[in-house]
């Protein structure tokens, strides 16, 4: 369960070029409903790939039925069919037959454990990296798309067999990133300090911090910041750097 040097082996650069990812920091922003802030991004992303149906992965929450119904209602309103992998007689077959995959948020440790328990790590990787199936992640679903879940904000309520995640991109993401408030009396570590503590370890990847209402869109070997706010990039032994909306972060895919 170590966060040092967790690199997924396998998959050529040509296979990586097939990936189509929409990695959301979060599903809901203050004052709006579920996925409302990201609606146009999600719809355009799926329609541009001629997707008609989506397989939902609700493993990050315990009440998977309610979670699935919430997602199905939203995607149906957008004109997409949706089924939930937790209701499939064979989850592996459901992933293999998926046009697109949406992995929802919740607890990242629980999500990753369920992916391992249901033997879906390799099927999802193959579907996304080799076959080019669109992948949408939100919060925990974005965390598991990266090298490891070591930069999640969640509590380890369950014990996955490894922190190594799907490695759809060769870096980590910190969703729900919060900037330090200079007026606060809170004396605990800021999010920036915690990420920089992670980077005290050797051989760990960069961390892209996504503020709520922001996302990273990846198509082939091109990665672009989208949404409402800039992203903040942390690289070991370097100062954090801000990247405004529409910034090209494709260099991160060449790690």
Catalytic residue IDs: 139, 154, 176
φ, ψ for residue 42 (rounded to 5)?
-65, -50
Buried-state track 72-86, b at ≥16 Cβ within 10 A, e below 16? bebbeeeebebbbbb
Closest alpha carbon to 122 in 10, 21, 4: 10
Start-to-end Cα distance in the chain:
22
Residues 234 and 206: beta-carbon distance below 8 Å: yes
What's the CA angle centered on 21, arms 48 and 97, to 5 degrees? 75
d(CA 27, CA 24): 7
What does the radius of gyration of the chain's CA atoms come to, in whole angstroms?
A: 17
């Amino acid at each position: 369960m170590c966060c040092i040097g967790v690199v997924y082996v396998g998959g050529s650069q040509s296979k990586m070029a097939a990936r189509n990812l929409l990695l959301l920091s979060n599903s809901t922003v203050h004052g709006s409903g579920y996925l409302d802030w990201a609606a146009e991004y999600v719809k355009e992303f799926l329609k541009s790939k001629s997707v008609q149906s989506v397989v939902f992965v609700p493993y990050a929450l315990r009440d998977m039925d309610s979670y699935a119904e919430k997602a199905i209602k939203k995607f149906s309103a957008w004109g997409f069919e949706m089924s939930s992998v937790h209701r499939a007689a064979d989850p592996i077959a459901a992933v293999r037959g998926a046009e697109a995959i949406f992995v929802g948020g919740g607890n990242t440790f629980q999500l990753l454990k369920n992916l391992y328990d249901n033997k879906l790590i390799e099927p999802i990787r193959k579907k996304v990296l080799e076959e080019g199936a669109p992948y949408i992640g939100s919060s925990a679903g974005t965390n598991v798309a990266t090298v490891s879940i070591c930069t999640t904000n969640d509590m380890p309520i369950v014990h996955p067999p490894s922190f190594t995640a799907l490695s759809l991109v060769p870096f980590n993401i910190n969703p729900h990133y919060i900037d330090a408030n200079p007026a606060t009396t809170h004396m605990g570590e800021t999010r920036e300090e915690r990420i920089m503590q992670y980077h005290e370890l050797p051989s760990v990847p960069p961390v892209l911090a996504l503020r709520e209402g922001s996302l990273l869109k990846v198509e082939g070997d091109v990665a672009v910041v989208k949404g409402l706010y800039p992203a903040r990039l942390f690289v070991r032994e370097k100062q954090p750097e801000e990247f405004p909306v529409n910034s090209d972060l494709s260099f991160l895919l060449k790690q």
